[in-house]
Structure 1
């Protein structure tokens, strides 16, 4: 009779939390950025540089902070890093979800949707979110985020990718988020960078 191995219970990820990122989070964000850019390379054809990294000027700008009109967020599932969100245009006429990434182990469980809603709630006002038509998961995801944030009051248009005439236009969703959509938790004030 064959021996049966005891199997470990399936791990269930903890709910995802959204935390303002600080300079102390840089190493974690840089690693998450590589995963994000790797996923995006399927849609924009980008390749790593000789050192194995991808262009990271957007991450650098976001880590420079609010004074530069950016906000960076680290997504966590319990003690584990689960993704990132970079927002530009903070304090401007429209906030732009410049980069949004959820690690594969946390996808498909509503974590990304909850995190996106919370990021939008932290910056009430007009929003623009770009993504690629070829990225079917992003198409469904961002349309759902817009519908939950603004009901039927959102728009979608295609815009050329600056400097990349070889790529199809990006899809841009626009809506106004007031932070009161279903399931949105109104965040408290951001933690100070010196907080643990």
Structure 2
């Protein structure tokens, strides 16, 4: 379920990231460059780790997780291929990430991504988190976002 991105599977991550960027382009107002590729907002470098999610050896999702401090994490990117949605895969993938890195978590959704906000509320609740805080936050890059913060020490 939780496969770290390495140089061996980096291309798979990058390919899925293009689908993710395209899906959100109406909200981010991003267009592909002259090469047909979207620039990625979150690069897997420094304190950012990437993960892939597979279904029967088929790449079905990705996540980019930043570690800001000891046991303090942020979901920077999270994507499940539409074909694999509505079956609980995203919730299981998110939970596997949280179990892998217990601590204080932040998740943000850009304005207009109401379906993403609904997903995160449900995923956090299904993980058994009791004290999730939600607010609106003025993100320096994305503007006003919906933000959830919680401690997950599963």
Q: Same fold (TM over 0.5)?
A: yes
| Aligned CA distance change for structure 1 residues 133 and 146 (closer, same or farther; 3 Å) | farther
Gaps of 5+ in 1: 1-16, 180-196
Secondary structure of the 2:14 match is helix
| Aligned CA distance change for structure 1 residues 139 and 152 (closer, same or farther; 3 Å) | same
| Aligned CA distance change for structure 1 residues 135 and 163 (closer, same or farther; 3 Å) | closer
Per the alignment, residue 170 of structure 1 pairs with: 145
Per the alignment, residue 121 of structure 1 pairs with: 99
Q: Distance in 1 between matches of 2:31 and 2:23?
A: 11
If the length of structure 1 is used for normalisation, what is the TM-score?
Answer: 0.73
CA contact (8 A) 1:97 1:129 kept: yes
Question: Rg larger in 1 or in 2?
Answer: 1
Counterparts of 1:1-196 in structure 2 under 5 Å? 17-56=1-40, 58-59=42-43, 62=44, 64=45, 68-89=46-67, 91-92=69-70, 94-163=72-141, 167=143, 169-179=144-154
If the length of structure 2 is used for normalisation, what is the TM-score?
Answer: 0.91
CA contact (8 A) 1:132 1:171 kept: yes
| Aligned CA distance change for structure 1 residues 88 and 29 (closer, same or farther; 3 Å) | same
> What's the C-alpha RMSD, in Å, of the aligned pairs?
1.7
**Structure in which a larger fraction of residues adopt strand:** 2
Gaps of 5+ in 2: none
Which string of whole-angstrom CA distances, capped at 9 and with x for unpartnered residues, describes residues 76-100 of structure 1? 1111111101100165352000000
| Aligned CA distance change for structure 1 residues 46 and 92 (closer, same or farther; 3 Å) | farther
